[in-house]
Amino acid sequence: MSEGGKQQRTQQKRQQPQANLDNGQHQASQDGTANGASKRPGPQATSTPPRKKARLSGPAPAPAVSSIQEQRRLLPIAKGREALVAEIRANEVTVLLGETGSGKTTQVPQYLLEAGLAGAAGLIGITQPRRVAALSLAARVALEQGAPVGGTVGYAVRFDERCGAGTRIKYMTDGMLGRELLGDPLLSRYKVVVVDEAHERTLRTDLLLANLKRILRVRNGESGDNRNPLKVVIMSATLDAEKFSRFFSNAKIVYVKGRQHPVKIFHAVQGQTDYVDAALRTFFQIHVDQPPGDVLVFLPGQEDIESLDAAIMLFARQLPAGAPEVLVVPMFAALAGEKMGRIFGATPRGARKCILATNIAETSITIPGVRYVIDTGKAKEKRFLAGAVGGGFDTLLTRDIARANAMQRAGRAGREGPGFCYRLYTEDAFRAMAPAAEPEILRTGLAGSMLQLLCLGQDLQELELMDAPDVEAVSSALRTLFLLGALDSTRALTEMGRAMAAFPLEPPLARALLASKELGCTAEVLDIVSVLAASAPLFIDAGEQRGASVEARRKFVHPAGDHLTLLNAVHAYAAVGGGGADAKETEEKEEGVGRSARKEWARAHFVNERVLREARSIRAQLVGVCAREGLDARASVGDDADPMLLALAHGLAQNAALLMPDGTYKQVMGQAIVKIHPSSTMADKKVPAIIYNELVYTNQIYARGVSSIPKSFFASLGAFNRRAA
């Protein structure tokens, strides 16, 4: 959507105020009051932030209950407790279909422990795709067990672990259990592994399932060590249950009913071409006609969110006096921390909150007070295209969501009471959607996973996976690892590869860090890669304040490009309020003065402080690995840019492009013409050679995170010498 298009839309709406709202736009679905949401599992407990503990037992239409044990007994799953435990006892693998609100995630581990299925001292591990879920579940279940977190019930997520000698139930991220495999390939401490939210089919869940199948063969097999058998419980949505069952030799499927408020679903009568406009009209239709309750709108991305935000505010000002106030709250992952907090603030009396969210609100964040959901049926999806020579690239395109996601979105309206979902697409369009999203392992680059598996002595191609990736994706990953020097020409893991795998980083970043050893700039490369490994961009792109943000950050800009600009910002932040990059100890004890000064500095420079804090944690972890791998984390070259750029180039060798006579950039390893992303400090600079963090196709193939390097670097990069082979 162009800037001009947005303007035009806004203008049109100004001339046709809310009188134009289309009341006949929606019709109730055939299954009107049927709550599509109840077909989708995903216990609310898993996605509720820690501070919302009180809501973990789910929406409680049941009579008020006083004790925690009474609440446990009233959960739908409690009725089937004996039968469930008997099934799990009788089978090595059980697939458990639990609807939302069944209580399966909190209760099953306790049932198994109390039934003695973990033996006298064995562990029950429950994996989650998201860390907040692991944290909040452990807190709730510890409360139910009457023990402190870290006692009988503990958790393990990156940067944070609370488990003791007496811990028997361990909530953890699936990535963390994947890491544990490296040191204990048979997971011998675990008597039971429960894989929760398996229907999400994340990359880590799929790799874990493949490993569990392998472990079962060894620990439970006839020829194997039968003294320490493992039990596996897969928790999933109805849709995928049979597939999980088939994967685990037709494992028994057990169904548990949920408890969820009904959500009435309306479909559009006609297909909508402009979903932002349709969402605008639907919102005001709700706002004018419907009883109080907040509205959650699902949109594909930041651009649409900002566009709808502006349009809603424009109309809200034209509402007649006395109409309820409208409070628009945008929500997407790149948002700074303080703005995220607005989501959880209570809606002022007489006002209506309208949350404009990406699919972050589908699973990761649960917003209280939502009664109405507006679903555009769209989401952005990142997909790795391996086919292209030169390492391939990602596409980031808006696509139709799957039916399972549509049902999950609808369910967000029924968390606290009966709700309503307005789909901006027809019922036929809903039926035409794919039943479930494609598993992540088929959409993503695999170099990192492949390196991890090789360290376990496994091969991605030989591993029995639920869905095997394409040959092109596998060979692209092998090629990347070979060019980085992690594999030799016989595909065997090298010393370099083993060292790279020790770092919790993507292979290119790990390679850059290792290259910093010879170049004496480990301190600087650590600063840079830890920010790149964080979960959001450092610099906030603040919509209409875009000009101001560019101006505020001008002082960080380094002529060599984005990587050193980033480093300047990290250094500047560390200098504010006296807190250095390594000053974690003192900082925590420090008075609020330095802390508020840093916060204000970050706000003024449009820098995401949450990202800086996350990067600091990552950096501290990397420093620990550096010590074991023989890198001096304090080695610094001061302001000398060339060693840092050369170290980065060793990791990003596949991501290099040269300026052509016609002013475009062409990949060095590959044929693609790439364009420098407009957000880069190198946009329009026309330097002879660049390296970049990633290539993303949206409207064009954009290089993001770009630095200028001397052409003379290429000759010294191992990747270029290996390329011929």
Work out whether 698 is an interface residue with DNA (CB under 7 A): yes
Between CA 127 and CA 49 the distance in angstroms is 17
Instruction: Indicate which single residue of 235, 677, 701, 719 sits in contact with DNA (rule: CB under 7 A).
Output: 677
Smallest gap from Cβ 335 to DNA, in A, equals 8
Query: Does residue 541 belong to the site contacting DNA (CB under 7 A)?
Result: yes
Alpha helices in 520-561 (DSSP H): 522-532, 546-552
Closest distance between DNA and the C-beta of residue 219, in Å?
19
Q: For DNA, which is the closer residue by CB, 132 or 519?
A: 132
Is 9 a residue that touches DNA (CB under 7 A)? no
**Range 366-384 burial, b when 16+ CB lie within 10 A, else e:** bbebbbbbbbbbbbbbeeb
Choose between 85 and 625: whose C-beta lies nearer to DNA.
625
Closest by CA to 706, choosing from 509, 565, 499, is 565
Nearer to DNA, 148 or 301 (CB): 301
Position 333 contacts DNA (CB under 7 A): yes
The position carrying tokens 């204990």 is 184
- Per-residue binding string, DNA, 385-414, x by CB under 7 A, is -----------x------------------
Minimum CB distance to DNA smaller for 318 or for 535:
535
Of positions 144, 161, 488, 590, contacts DNA by CB under 7 A: 161
Secondary structure class of 656 (helix, strand, coil): strand
Q: Under rule CB under 7 A, which residues in 38-97 are in contact with DNA?
A: none
Q: Which long-range contacts (CB under 8 A, 24 or more apart) does 545-550 make?
A: 545/606, 548/606, 549/606
Residues 220-249: x where in contact with DNA by CB under 7 A, - otherwise, as a string: ------------------------------
Site for DNA contains 682 (CB under 7 A)? no
156 vs 672 by CB, closer to DNA: 156
Report the length, in residues, of the chain: 725
Between the CA atoms of 169, 172, 174 and 180, what dihedral angle is there, to the nearest 10 degrees? Answer: -80
Please give the backbone phi and psi of residue 723, each rounded to the nearest 5 degrees, phi first: -55, -35
Nearer to DNA by C-beta: 323 or 620? 620
Rg (CA), the chain: 26
Count of C-beta atoms within a 10 Å radius of residue 228: 16
Draw the binding track, 163-192, toward DNA (x: CB under 7 A; -: no contact). ----------x-xx-xxx-xx---------
The verdict on 538 binding DNA (CB under 7 A) reads no
- Which residues between 487 and 526 bind DNA (CB under 7 A)? 504-506
Which amino acid is it at 665?
Answer: Y
- Contact characters 298-317, DNA, x per CB under 7 A: --xxxx--------------
Q: Measuring CA to CA, how many Å separate 128 from each of 186, 197, 209, 533?
A: 20, 7, 13, 21
Figure out which of the listed residues 111, 332, 556, 665 binds DNA, where binding follows CB under 7 A.
Answer: 332
For residues 614 and 534, the answer to whether their CB atoms sit within 8 Å is yes
Q: How far apart are the first and last CA of the chain?
A: 45
The piece of 17-25, 280-288, 645-653, 678-686 that touches DNA (CB under 7 A) is: 678-686
Q: Helices 522-532 and 507-519: crossing angle, nearest 10°?
A: 170
Find the binder of DNA among 138, 157, 241, 637 (CB under 7 A).
157
Q: Which of 21, 123, 251, 379 binds DNA (CB under 7 A)?
A: 379
Stretch that binds DNA, among 28-36, 128-136, 205-213, 419-427 (CB under 7 A): 128-136
Q: Note whether 31 and 337 are within 8 A (CB).
A: no
Interface pick for DNA out of 34, 186, 319, 334 (rule CB under 7 A): 334
Q: Which is nearer to DNA, 188 or 364 (CB)?
A: 364
Least Å from the CB of residue 701 to DNA: 10
> Which CB sits closer to DNA, 25 or 359?
359
**DSSP assignment string, 336-403:** -HHHHGGGGSPPPTTEEEEEEE-THHHHT---TTEEEEEE-SEEEEEEEE--SSSS-EEEEEEEE--H
Q: How far is the CB of 433 from DNA (least distance, A)?
A: 16
CB 460 within 8 A of CB 474: yes
- The mark string for 614-653 relative to DNA (x by CB under 7 A, - otherwise) is -------x--x-----------------------------
Residue 552 in contact with DNA, rule: CB under 7 A: no
Beta-bridge partner residues of 395 = 383, 697
Of 16, 223, 490, 699, which one interacts with DNA (CB under 7 A)? 699
d(CA 513, CA 507): 10
Residue 483 and residue 478: Cα distance in Å, rounded? 9
Query: 């910093």: which residue's tokens?
Result: 516
The verdict on 339 binding DNA (CB under 7 A) reads no
**98/448 with CB nearer DNA:** 448
CA distances (Å), 520 to each of 125, 572, 623, in order? Answer: 42, 22, 15
Using rule CB under 7 A, residue 109 touches DNA = no
- Closest approach of Cβ 500 to DNA, in Å? 11
Instruction: Single out the residue of 451, 444, 448 nearest to residue 467, CA to CA.
Output: 444
CA nearest 43: which of 32, 57, 61?
57
Is residue 381 near DNA by the rule CB under 7 A? yes
- Reading the block at residue 228, the tokens are 């320490």
Q: Which stretch binds DNA (CB under 7 A): 376-384, 416-424, 562-570, 594-602?
A: 376-384
Among residues 359, 565, 608, 693, the one that binds DNA under rule CB under 7 A? 359
- Quote the CA–CA distance of 442 and 466 in Å, as a whole number: 11
Residue type, 699: N
Q: Does 257 contact DNA by CB under 7 A? A: no
Structure tokens at 442: 């088929």
Q: Six-digit token pair at 543? A: 């919509």
Interface map 437-476 toward DNA (x if CB under 7 A): -----------x----------------------------
132 touches DNA by CB under 7 A: yes
Binding region for DNA (CB under 7 A) out of 33-41, 83-91, 410-418, 536-544: 536-544
Are the C-beta atoms of residues 411 and 36 closer than 8 Å to each other?
A: yes
Gap between the Cα atoms of 652 and 634, Å rounded: 23
Amino acid at 670: G
Residue that has been written with the tokens 């692991």 in this structure: 134
**Interaction between residue 678 and DNA (CB under 7 A):** yes
Q: How many residues bind DNA (CB under 7 A)?
A: 59
DSSP letter at 48? S
Residues binding DNA (CB under 7 A):
2-3, 129-132, 156-158, 161, 173, 175-176, 178-180, 182-183, 202-204, 300-303, 332-334, 358-360, 364-365, 379-382, 396, 448, 504-506, 533, 535, 537, 539, 541, 546, 621, 624, 677-679, 683-684, 696, 698-699, 702
